[in-house]
Structure 1
Amino acid sequence: MANFKVESEQHGELNCWRISSERAELLIAQQGAQILSYQRVGEPPLLWLSDQAIFRQGKSVRAGVPVCWPWFGNLQRNPASVQAMYQGEQAPAHGLARTRDWQLLAVEEQGADLHILFTLPEARGNLPGWPHDVELTLQVVLGDELSVALTSRNLGNSPVTISQALHSYFAVSDVRQARVEGVEGLHYIETLADWEQRQQTGALEFAGETDRIYLDTPSTLSIVDPKWARRITLTSSGSRSAVIWNPWTERAQELADMADDGWQRMLCIETANVWGDVVELEPGASWALQVRIGSAAV
């Protein structure tokens, strides 16, 4: 007998699945294969879902784990090799994958874990303006931790260069009391100050708008949340860069899908391949960008 449940739900214009096991629950949208929420039974959510989220076709939801692929952010801020892959006119922010419908291939138990597999058929040469043949899959594993792995395999005859990110929104009690550990001493790009390169001193604490690209990141970063007495741990592979973002007060007021005080309850740490950490896939090669998300009391 299966120890999990899969239910179809409609949220605004988006088809979604609520997938629950004895230990945790996920809400995943077909658009973008985007995890919208995740929490373990009896605990506060680990991933943040905006109170004012907009569930509209063609728009990424302000929540969970949007998939940014085959480029991250503004295409013009990417290396020339990533820009050259796109042949369209208007390049949407964060690529093409997060607003396309993915195909749910499987939900199955493997031991104590639940494995959920998606693919994006359009990545096989049919994405508008991006005519490359890549097999793109997203595997989500629901167990004691949440694991998300985005795998790209180049099925074409020419190299393909991509930047990408698992744009994770984490739930915190109050970002002004939280801190990020694991970034001590790292160099980062300060995008809010003309993209200057700087060096981090100590753990990262928050006192204003934050939008930084951390370079040569370790495999483990963590969010310490004293008020909720927990540590959220991110363990990544296939990544040497991370983006840390919080819009703070003024920027949040400009976002239609975030409450004016919503910035207090969220923090983005995006497991990424950006800046000098982009991925070049030779024909036949594959690359997996993965993050495992867990939490423990502190």
Structure 2
Amino acid sequence: MPLIENKSFSSIIKHDELDCLHINHPDFFAEICLQGAQLTQFKHRLQGDFLWLSPTVQYKQGQSLRGGVPICWPWFGILDKNPSSVTDCVNGPQGSHGFARNQCWELSNITETQDSVMIELTLKHSQQSLAVWPFKFELTCRFTFSEKLTIELITQNLDEKVFTISQALHTYFPVDDISTVSIHGADSHKYVDALDDWQIKHQQQAIQFNQEVDRIYLGNIEYKFKSEHECFELNSNSHSSVVWNPWINKSKTLSQFPDDAYQSMLCIENANVLDDVITVKPNQTHTLSMTLIKR
């Protein structure tokens, strides 16, 4: 792979069935699977792990890994739960979270400095994608690693037709003990409770966990959350986000997920879902971005 040659910090390794990009910088380590452009690990030398990765994760072709930051695109979640502007673009019944997370992306750019590393991976339309979603596109995911983590998911419409997408950066976070976590920032925001017949409710105080949580929060939210030894700040340009923890019963049904793993993780997914879906005109682009800081 020519872009890797003569790089100081970046290399390609094989994990079971998947090719992965390893970034061994003096200040941090990161791993990105070329399948799905999925960031699985980012560990800063001083600040520790930014992401949670399942201890039973499997590096298999055709399936997303449990943990890190899976990319959901060009639809999020169960297809039928999306607005008609999204579902009408898709041919036939399809699985959850779109097709981008199971495709092999191309490494398109690497920039290394003494303080940071920037990686770009690109996915383009193919005969396979056109059969499912009949639009020409170029999708780029740009990762910038430094003392913080920034991810930009850039959708470019190369077609002659307008298309509409829902999407998410499905980020898994490590926590010491889920029962001690308090998430701030969503106070006074509305949310859709996916576990209670999709009712709209109001968040009155910090988000805490004593049962399964699956909520779509509405509006642009700057999240701050902490447990005993972990403290994060998460910012995004999106106007919807998902907070999720499977709790006890659902954990027993999830793949690549130990029964007690719900105690040490949570997900906050920067997204464009429900009324926040994105319409992209021909020759235009849209960028979904997030920045994660650990204190």
Which bracket does the TM-score occupy, shorter chain normalised? over 0.9
Deviation at 1:13, TM superposition (A): 1.3
Answer yes or no: is the 8 Å Cα contact 2:110–2:119 preserved in 1. yes
- % identical equivalent positions: 35
Q: 1:36 aligns with which of 40, 46, 53?
A: 40
Deviation at 1:14, TM superposition (A): 1.1
> Where does structure 1 lack aligned partners over 5 or more consecutive residues?
none
**Over residues 67-118 of structure 1, what are the superposed CA-to-partner deviations in whole Å (9 max), with x where a residue is unaligned?**
000000001000000001111x231100010000000112112573211000
**Partner residue, 2:79:** 75
CA distance in 2, matches of 1:154, 1:125: 17
**Partner residue, 2:186:** 183
* Secondary structure in 1 matching 2:63: coil
* Secondary structure in 1 matching 2:250: helix
CA distance in 2, matches of 1:152, 1:123: 15
**Partner residue, 2:57:** 53
CA distance in 2, matches of 1:105, 1:189: 38
Deviation at 1:52, TM superposition (A): 0.9
Deviation at 1:3, TM superposition (A): 8.6
**Partner residue, 2:3:** none
**Inter-CA distance 18–69: structure 2 relative to 1 (3 Å threshold):** same
**Partner residue, 2:234:** 234
**Partner residue, 1:16:** 20
* Secondary structure in 1 matching 2:77: coil
Deviation at 1:7, TM superposition (A): 2.6
Answer yes or no: is the 8 Å Cα contact 2:245–2:265 preserved in 1. yes
Deviation at 1:9, TM superposition (A): 2.0
* Secondary structure in 1 matching 2:67: coil
Letter of the 1:281 counterpart = V
Cα root mean square deviation, aligned:
1.6
> Where does structure 2 lack aligned partners over 5 or more consecutive residues?
1-5
Give TM-score scaled by structure 1 length. 0.93
Letter of the 1:48 counterpart = W
**Over residues 225-248 of structure 1, what are the superposed CA-to-partner deviations in whole Å (9 max), with x where a residue is unaligned?**
2x11x42111112x1000000001
Deviation at 1:126, TM superposition (A): 3.8
Answer yes or no: is the 8 Å Cα contact 1:96–1:127 preserved in 2. no
Answer yes or no: is the 8 Å Cα contact 2:125–2:135 preserved in 1. no
Q: 1:86 aligns with which of 87, 90, 111?
A: 90
**Inter-CA distance 6–224: structure 2 relative to 1 (3 Å threshold):** same
CA distance in 1, matches of 2:42, 2:211: 27
Letter of the 1:254 counterpart = T
Count of residues in correspondence between the two structures = 290
**Partner residue, 2:106:** 103
* Secondary structure in 2 matching 1:81: helix
**Partner residue, 1:134:** 137
